[in-house]
Amino acid sequence: MASREVLRMGDSRLLRIAEEVTEFNTPELHALLQDMRDTMHAMNGVGLAAPQIGVNLRVVIFEVSANPRYPEAEAVPQTVLINPKLTFLKGRKEEDWEGCLSVPGMRGMVPRYVNLRYTGFNELGEKIDRTVSNFHARVVQHECDHLDGILYPMRITNMRKFGYTDILFPGQDVGDD
């Protein structure tokens, strides 16, 4: 078990297209996922993508269970999602605030599709197929963007709604990322 350093925006490794996982249920994959979980929990994040710890594979994890940083957010089941494919449904987007462990101390207003179907595999190679909406859909879009070298500031359409968390939300304990 090890919490790993999270790469920060500006590091070119965050801009790569990650590669598909070809072998499941391997010691290497389980070790990667344990490091990702330890890192995400140590930083109180809701999600993490493998490229954020410098591993260029299409692997993301996420979970939301009463996270103090997102008190309004609905719970999202603890998920390992590998080689994800996203299908946007109905085409409607909504804006909300996002942060990222690779962009510490900042928040930005990001439009995301509200309704989403995602497919992929867990660490054992078992198929995942879910249709979700709202915060769950937002988290999946954010994490899967990391696999294509996209950080949320690249998705902001109104740069006036991008800033330091403590300035945007004074007096609120919304965390560091």
Please tell me whether residue 18 binds Ni ion under the rule CB under 5 A: no
**Angle (CA) 149 154 158, round 5°:** 165
Q: Are 33 and 80 in contact (CB under 8 A)?
A: yes
CB 105 to Ni ion: min, Å = 13
Please tell me whether residue 106 binds Ni ion under the rule CB under 5 A: no
- Distance CA(151)–CA(165), nearest Å, equals 17
For Ni ion, give the closer residue by CB, 75 or 154: 154
CB 103 to Ni ion: min, Å = 7
Give the range of 29-37, 73-81, 99-107, 127-135 binding Ni ion by CB under 5 A: 99-107
- Distance CA(177)–CA(165), nearest Å, equals 8
- DSSP class of residue 16? S
* 19: annotated active-site residue: no
Q: Which residue is catalytic, options 63, 98, 123, 143?
A: 143
- Distance CA(52)–CA(30), nearest Å, equals 17
- Distance CA(150)–CA(51), nearest Å, equals 11
User: Which of 61, 100, 106, 144: binder of Ni ion (CB under 5 A)?
Assistant: 100
CB 65 to Ni ion: min, Å = 18
Please tell me whether residue 81 binds Ni ion under the rule CB under 5 A: no
Give the range of 59-67, 98-106, 124-132, 154-162 binding Ni ion by CB under 5 A: 98-106
CA distances from 2 to 36, 38, 126, 175 (A): 8, 6, 26, 21
For Ni ion, give the closer residue by CB, 29 or 144: 144
Token pair, residue 71, equals 């008190």
Query: Residue with CB nearest Ni ion?
Result: 100
Which residues are tagged catalytic?
Answer: 143
Binding site for Ni ion (CB under 5 A): 100
